[in-house]
Amino acid sequence: MIVDQILLKNQEASAKFETDNKSERPIRSVAKAISWRIVGTLDTLLISYILIGEVAIAASIASIDFITKMFLYFFHERLWNRINWGK
């Protein structure tokens, strides 16, 4: 009975997402965050290498940048998803 309730809620939520074109599922935001961070991290790696000249330090900078900015982007994206302006 409890499982039926959970499944029903999941089906209702799926139906809502199918009819609601104004919002995205969180998994889409995660995919967008990862793909954008790959591009951004390659940029950071290249710029760090050009400025510093050492691959190890540039890779360290790019690694930290990848992790922190991916989380920041995800939450930024989710906040903007709640704002109706421009939709």
Q: Helices (DSSP H) in the chain: which residue ranges? A: 2-19, 26-52, 55-82
Residue owning tokens 């990862």: 34
Cα–Cα separations (whole angstroms), residue 57 to 35, 49, 50, 63, 69: 23, 8, 11, 10, 18
Query: How confident is the model over 31-66, as pLDDT tens digits?
Result: 888 898 899 999 999 999 999 999 999 999 999 998
Q: What is the pLDDT of residue 45?
A: 95
Percent of residues, the chain, with pLDDT higher than 70: 75
For residue 28, give both structure tokens: 């889409």
CA dihedral 70, 73, 78, 82 (to 10 degrees): 180
Q: Is the pLDDT of residue 83 over 70?
A: yes
pTM: 0.58
pLDDT exceeds 90 at position 3 = no
